[in-house]
Amino acid sequence: MKLTAKEQKTYDRIYSDLLEPDQLDREIVTQIAKLTIHVEEMAKQIKKDGLIISYTTTKGTDATKAHPLTDTLKQLQHNLSTQLNKLATREDNRAKEIFKRAVDSADKELRS
């Protein structure tokens, strides 16, 4: 999956903090990087346009409605949260496994 320069910067920042990353981590971090940039861009657009959009109806009257990007932004934020939680769980499990290996190795050396 090709990343933009912004996405790559986000990817590199997250990836560099991982413990013993594997292919699945790379895929998750790629999704996180893409989602992060999309969320930032949509949030900027909504901030620029405002949460409420004014428009003219087909009958010529002025009306307002919620910015159409707000629902998309909510979904992207949910997806981003899901991916971040998935990565955090994998990192917690990995840290426990690394600790277990270190304890086992120390125990083995003490016994020999």
Q: What pLDDT is recorded for position 112?
A: 78
Q: Where are the domains of the chain?
A: 5-111
| Residue type for position 73 | L
- How would residue 31 be classed by pLDDT, with cut points 50, 70 and 90? very high
Query: 10 Å Cβ neighbour count for 9?
Result: 13
Is residue 98 scored above 90 in pLDDT? yes
Write b or e for each residue in 47-82: b if 16 or more Cβ atoms lie within 10 A of its Cβ, otherwise e: eeeeeeeeeeeeeeeeeeeebebeeebeebeebbee
pLDDT tens for each residue of 37-93: 999 999 999 999 999 999 899 999 999 999 999 999 999 999 999 999 999 999 999
